[in-house]
Structure 1
Amino acid sequence: MYATIYHNPRCSKSRQTLQLLKDQGVELKVIEYLKTPPSVEELDDILQKLAIEPRQLMRKKETEYLANNLEDKSLDKLALIKAMVDYPILIERPIVIANGKAAIGRPPEAVLTILK
């Protein structure tokens, strides 16, 4: 089994999810997304796999969310995705991609559903 995890080593849920995947014997590609943010295209693909809208993937309590007026309902999907690319701290974590599916590791066990 192979999976990609968008990981933040400072986040306890991200660390727990990473360990859970390792314990399951999953071969991992670890992307520290704060250092290497996904592109607009990659993030759009992730959102499609998660079947959610951009705001559902955003950390709304981050300073960058408020400072960039991202609560503005007139912003379209592309503007929100670009904001997450520009400010990757806004992206909820961790995100795991496996078997053409995606899951957010909150709780960490939520990612187990895409490993089957």
Structure 2
Amino acid sequence: MSVTLYHNPACGTSRTVLGLIQETGIEPEVVLYLKTPLSREKLADLVDQTDLTARDLLRQKGALYEELGLNGPAITDAEILDAIAAHPALLNRPIVVTEKGAAACRPAETVLRLLP
């Protein structure tokens, strides 16, 4: 099974998800999105090819979220994707993509429904 993990090794939840995946015997493709940010197009592909929404991809904690005014109800999906592309720290981590679907894996156990 192919598994892609959009990972931040400084995040405890992201490390836990990586461990849960590896416990199944799968070595995921790990994308360190802070070092290699996802393009606006790749973010849009994640939304288009999964059941995730742009808001699902958006980390809603931290000062940057508030500073950019991303909590407003009038903020569009396009604006959210533009913000994440410009500021990779806004990506809600970890995100896991498998043949079974994709999810922002918070809590970490969410990843189990995506694994064999």
Shorter chain as denominator, the TM-score bin is 0.7 to 0.9
1:34-53 matches, cutoff 5 A:
34-53=34-53
Distance 1:78 1:65 in 2: 15
Q: CA deviation at 1:8?
A: 0.4
Q: CA deviation at 1:50?
A: 4.5
What RMSD, in angstroms, separates the aligned Cα atoms of the two structures? 1.7
Q: CA deviation at 1:100?
A: 5.8
Supply the AA of the counterpart residue of 1:34: L
Structure 2: gaps of 5 or more residues: none
TM-score (norm 1): 0.87
The equivalent of 1:98 in structure 2 is 98
CA deviation profile, 1:45-79 (whole Å, cap 9, x unmatched): 22244424322332222211111122233332111
**Contact kept in structure 2, 1:4 and 1:98, CA below 8 Å:** yes
The equivalent of 2:10 in structure 1 is 10
Identical positions, percent: 38
Structure 1: gaps of 5 or more residues: none
The equivalent of 1:83 in structure 2 is 83
The equivalent of 2:73 in structure 1 is 73
Supply the AA of the counterpart residue of 1:73: P
**Contact kept in structure 2, 1:62 and 1:89, CA below 8 Å:** no
Distance 2:91 2:39 in 1: 12
Change beyond 3 A, Cα 1:49–1:102? farther
Distance 1:66 1:55 in 2: 14
**Contact kept in structure 2, 1:6 and 1:95, CA below 8 Å:** yes
TM-score (norm 2): 0.87
Change beyond 3 A, Cα 1:3–1:33? same
Say which is worse superposed, 98-107 or 85-94, in terms of deviation.
98-107
User: Matched residue pairs, number?
Assistant: 116
SS in 2 for 1:27: coil
